Structure 1
Amino acid sequence: MTSNQQTLLRQWHMLRAVPRAPRKIAVNELHRVLADAGFETTGRTIQRDLQRLSEVFPLVADGVKPFGWSWLRDGASFDLPGLSVPEALTLALVEQQLAHLLPPATLDTLQPHFRSAQQALSAIEPQSQAGGWLAKVRTIPPMQRLQAPVVDDACQRTIYDALARDRQLRLSYRKRDVAEPVEYEVVHPLAVVQRGQLIYLICMFADYEDVRMLAMHRVLAAEMSYLPSRRPAGFCIDAYIAGGHMGVRSGDPIRLRAVFSKTAGEHLFETPIAPDQSLTVLPGQQLELQASVPNTRELHWWLLGLGDGVEVLEPPELRAEIGALAHRMAARYPAPAATQSVAAV
């Protein structure tokens, strides 16, 4: 390998090792990274390379000795090789979808990749097939779109970092109906779960063994400790969710039998609710569904969202629950009294 090739590879490894702001890396850390990758160099050479590379790439130094180097937070991502047209199109479509699903702090981390995709697509002729693709494709959410709460960017990064490193956290947290924030001095992060527009930190406090759940958008301040966190023996996030702790009731599937109007149920022909689903066409433009499904909150919301387009027949417990709720709803919307015209005498 020639000297120029060796230099190019070393600089490529350096660029890959520089983290995105607000994180940073010092020259001595870069020296260790390069040494582990098999590159023999000096701190002076690394410093000189960084200065030259910063003229071409969005690299910044914090100005505090020893200098910490970062990839500019809003700079385009560095990818070799560059994005292909199909990859850029895919990222652009992902951006359209995720913009309404992820909290702003999470979406922000993907912005450099989205910008790289936009740069790749901007070089395409508008009249080409790929150039016109984005103007022809849209995604529509199947339910009412809710606005995501604002998550503090720095807090989210700190929590994710502690979770990845198995470190303890200190959190300042605002409970829903409490004016003053609560200080949790020792928090052991276990997992992060996103449910709809909300992100939850699954954790334990201090020496307690019970697993708790904190809403990420209510965290006001977060500090990572260098002390290791602990986990309950055999803890599994999937088992935790299946246990109903995220509002999902699980257990043995129920055998659902329901009658749908044609308008409410015809989508089930193409998007079945379960692998063993059966649909029977009944007189009067109605459909009878039978399927084995988990008894979840989502199932209830789906059935209720269809309004009078569905009648649950079995199991009897679910029919009674949906019926009782429908009666309570009807009580909130009493039928208007019939108006009668009275002839003037």
Structure 2
Amino acid sequence: MRADRLLALLLLLQNRGRMTAPELAAELEVSVRTVYRDIEALSASGVPVCADRGPVGGYRLMDGYRTRLTGLTRDEADSLFLAGMPGPAAELGLGADLATARLKLLAALPAELGERAQRIQERFHLDAPGWFRDADPVPWLGTIADAVWRQRTLRMDYRRWRGEVRRELRPLGLVLKGGIWYLVAQAVDPAPSDGAGGDAPGDGPAHRAEIRSYRISRVLTVQVLDEGFARPADFDLAAYWQESSRRLEELRYQGQARLRVSPRALKLIPVKFGAIGARAVAEAGEPDADGWVPVVLPVESVPVAVSDLLWLGGGAEVLGPPELRAAVARAVTELAQRYAAPGGQV
């Protein structure tokens, strides 16, 4: 709407001082000609906009003028919870609201606090996704977010690793974890006994009839139903996610590998295994005569553990358990035979 754009233009001039027409056009995502017309409209409404000509010219407000039109709309206030994450805010359809809310906040602050907020924005940036991984496609995120806001039941086709399922869900919240969006929802009807349901943190046989998590990139289709629902009175999204993440970690790490690692491999363990690896390194034993260190590392299933431990190369020796040591030995033998054979033949 033009009124929103005029307010945004006014707040830009108030917060940043002199700006050229091309700079204003880039900020407002309009043409330069539109900026000229908007400047004329502001002036006609009594806003003292001054035009300075020359190479360092531009538009500015008359010295001492400040607008008090800084009230936040509902959507703008909602968007402030994502103030440090402009990318996710845009994915939720709140990008424009967040930009306007930020401008209104800066305009409402005293000059010294406004300058400090601007410096913080210039010097700190949050980038949620992990390294070396494309962001998940989330074409249904906006629709799902709308259902979360309005407490509307969803009918959703979902792709699990076991196959596709259809569910009717009460959407309770959204979580952004490592650049991946999850829907936390409660099934309208109990899931069947085959374990169908979410495959993100919180899923599992003990919680089949309870609240579960769904990776939004695996949503195939969504229909928002007219049926509303009441949120569970005792549901806390942050507490749920923390508990389900802890439970997932317990399910993920099924055993412990006793290792003997070189100094170089000791440095690589936190890189490969994250916080689990960092804790294992912190609790490592004393080095032997060769400088190698005993480490006890939580691991997943034997096949996954073999793949992970081979990443450490010759800098790690598996001491136990025996089945893991034997599995690593078999994998190493297969690799040695394959690379020893001419022309890639074993």
Higher helix residue share: 2
> TM (normalized to structure 1)?
0.48
